[in-house]
């Protein structure tokens, strides 16, 4: 699987809303370690080989992210909630 393939079907994470870009980034920084681990686990399941530093600065070196303020749910089924 190539990087282009991975970029075509990205994972969406819902996080706490922010009024400004800075607030969104701050909210993301609070959960970026969990997202980092979730993504690493999907790529390579040997945690001892993962980078130990999983803060926002490292997160932004490894991942591209974008924020969307509106999400529309057009399905009739309830949203499945997963914890990681």
Q: In the chain, where are the structural domains located?
A: 3-62
Q: What's the pLDDT at 5?
A: 73
Q: What's the pLDDT at 24?
A: 96
Q: What's the pLDDT at 18?
A: 93
Q: What's the pLDDT at 23?
A: 97
Chunk the chain into consecutive blocks of 10 residues (it has 84) and report each block's average pLDDT, rounded to whole numbers: 73 92 96 93 86 94 91 84 64
Helix (H) or strand (E) holding 30: helix 21-43
């Amino acid at each position: 699987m190539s990087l282009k393939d991975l970029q075509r079907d990205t994972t969406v994470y819902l996080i706490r809303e922010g009024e400004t870009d800075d607030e969104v980034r701050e909210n993301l920084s609070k959960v970026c370690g969990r997202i980092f681990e979730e993504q690493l686990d999907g790529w390579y399941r040997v945690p001892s080989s993962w980078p130990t530093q999983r803060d926002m600065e490292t997160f932004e070196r490894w991942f591209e992210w974008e924020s969307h303020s509106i999400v529309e749910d057009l399905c009739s089924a309830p949203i499945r909630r997963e914890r990681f």
